[in-house]
Amino acid sequence: MVRNPLSKTANKYLRKFRKWPHSPYKTTWHHTFGEQQAMHILKQATFQMSSTQQQPQTQINNNPFLLSTLIDSFKAYNTDPTPKAYYFLVKTITNTSQLHEIPHILNHLEHIEKFETPEFIFCYLIRFYGLADRVQDAVDLFFRIPRFRCTPTVYSLNLLLSLLCRKREFLKMVPNILLKSQHMKIRLEESTFRVLVKALCRIKRVDYAIKIMNCMIEDGYSLDDKICSLIISSLCEQEDLTSVEALVVWGNMRKLGFCPGVMDCTNMIRFLVKEGKGKDALEILNQLKEDGIKPDIVCYTIVMSGFVKEDDYVKLDELFDEILVLGLVPDVYTYNVYINGLCKQNNVDEALKIVVSMEKLGCKPNVVTYNTLLGALCMKGDLGKAKTVFKEIGLKGVELNLHTYRIMLDGLVGKGEIGEACVLLEEMSDKCFYPRSSTFDSIILHLCQKGLIGDATVLMNKIVAKSFVPGAKVWEAMLLNSGSELTYSETTFVGLFSPQ
């Protein structure tokens, strides 16, 4: 059997019989392989540079070291540099502080390369410039983006605006950038307004943030509850803001459709109570209920504290009853506010009953609770009950603080019980708690008046050894009751402390 000639029956895909053989450097596989090898060489060069901690000074073909390395590595594999390679190069330069190479890379990208440079490269550089306080460089690069065959978007604009709004001195640049961005055909989006509002609130320029929010609504965007909450939170932190101004902003937002949540109302209520506007705070609380939202115990506690501050105890009782009717569980802070109100009304017995009820309900009183009771009992002159409460504090494991000791010490001194006062004073000094100078002066004066100069001296030495500085009256009393005739210098010393 005779076979047909190979030229007629041979497979046309075999390399031997192809009319135009494939070039080994024309396939996609070889192209990808070349890019990978070029990137590998570039990464090796940057790693060696960073490991040796040397700053290369040699320039090749008028290009810096890293840029020349990038060009040569891709040229060796007969392929063009990729945007990914330039992005890697820019990151390496910023991480190694080779900032002098950035202008050369940007010029090469603009004038030599032909591909559309991705926007993320410029965003990376803009963020770097902004965080390095090179704001003008960031602005110049933003306006230069179209020259790199790249269409800027709202992403790069938002990034630049957020960097500019970090400091007050750069805010004046924002209007010009917004105007020029329109010529760059960048359409402002809702995210742009949100960036501006957040940045302005962060630097406490809430007045501008409110104007931006109004512009956002005028442009047809819907009201953003998160932006409103942020404005309210920042607004309530303003020290130079009056309650009238705050309520105007609050009312305008509600007219625009803002439905505040519990946290928004809490911030507003706290601000109004601080300004002494308890009735306005109650109105905010009522608005929350009208919106169908159940206030939490924190809201009620803050409003109650406002009425205690204004001595409106009728409203205080009404709110406390309302808490119980709504089924809210008062916490220790709520009880402390209510107990403080009872004590200010000189109704200490009722306050003591509330403490007993707290314990039965599983709400443990804290040191603030007992300090309030002690202060009211000492003010009332009922030192016996005050001593009982003071003992109970230690038995119940509540840690005493400086205020506790000072209240009890003042109560003892006020009743003339100097012996117990001295014992308590020594206990205080062991814990490095010191009395008020006026209280200590009174104790020393009482001891001196009773002729107990030795006890006064011992107590004086113990207190001074703890680095406590006694008042002027103490030195005067000790010198005048020393039992010997004063010299001229001692009389002069006493005169320095005596009131003119």
In this structure, are 321 and 334 located in the same domain? no
- Check whether 495 has a pLDDT greater than 70: no
Which of 2-6, 163-167, 313-317 has the largest mean confidence?
313-317
Give the Cα separation of 57 and 246 in Å (integer): 60
Q: Among 355, 385, 400, give the residue marking a domain's end.
A: 400
Within a domain: 391: yes
CA distances from 433 to 398, 408, 425 (A): 17, 13, 9
pLDDT, tens only, 191-202? 888 888 888 888
What's the rounded mean pLDDT across residues 454-471? 74
- What is the rounded end-to-end Cα distance, in angstroms, of the chain? 142
In the chain, the number of structural domains is 4
- Check whether 28 has a pLDDT greater than 60: yes
Q: Among 298, 329, 360, give the residue marking a domain's end.
A: 329
**Helix count and strand count (H, E) for the chain:** 27, 0
- Check whether 128 has a pLDDT greater than 90: yes
- Check whether 33 has a pLDDT greater than 90: no
Within a domain: 219: yes
Instruction: State the pTM of this model.
Output: 0.71
The percent of residues in the chain predicted with pLDDT above 90, rounded, is 37
Q: Which residue did the predictor score with more confidence, 483 or 121? A: 121
Residues 121/86, Cβ–Cβ less than 8 Å: yes
Six token digits for residue 198: 């957040």
Run of H or E residues at 494: helix 488-497
Residues 270/304, Cβ–Cβ less than 8 Å: no
What one-letter code names the amino acid at 403? H
Q: Tell me which residue range forms the domain holding 296.
A: 278-329
- Check whether 133 has a pLDDT greater than 60: yes
In this structure, are 373 and 318 located in the same domain? no
Q: What is the mean pLDDT of the chain?
A: 83
Q: Return the bridge partners of 60, or none.
A: 63
- Check whether 331 has a pLDDT greater than 90: yes
In this structure, are 336 and 385 located in the same domain? yes
Query: Residue 413: left (phi > 0), alpha (psi -120 to 50), or beta?
Result: alpha
* Nearest residue to 261 (alpha-carbon basis) of 230, 304, 222, 301: 230
Within a domain: 123: no
Q: Residue 384 half-sphere exposure, CB side, CA atoms within 13 Å? A: 0
- Check whether 224 has a pLDDT greater than 90: no
Concatenating the DSSP letter of every residue in 49-77 gives HHHHT------BTTB-HHHHHHHHHHHTT
What one-letter code names the amino acid at 339? I
Within a domain: 323: yes
In this structure, are 455 and 475 located in the same domain? yes
Within a domain: 34: no
Q: Which residue did the predictor score with more confidence, 13 or 199? A: 199
Query: Per mean pLDDT, which range of 80-89, 392-401, 440-449, 461-470 is the poorest?
Result: 461-470
Residues 140/163, Cβ–Cβ less than 8 Å: no
In this structure, are 339 and 303 located in the same domain? no
The pLDDT assigned to 11 comes to 54
Q: Is 389 helix (H, G, I), strand (E, B) or coil?
A: helix
Give the Cα separation of 275 and 16 in Å (integer): 94
The pLDDT assigned to 51 comes to 57
The pLDDT assigned to 481 comes to 64
Give the Cα separation of 177 and 337 in Å (integer): 52
Within a domain: 90: no
Within a domain: 229: yes
In this structure, are 320 and 339 located in the same domain? no
- Check whether 461 has a pLDDT greater than 80: no
Within a domain: 349: yes
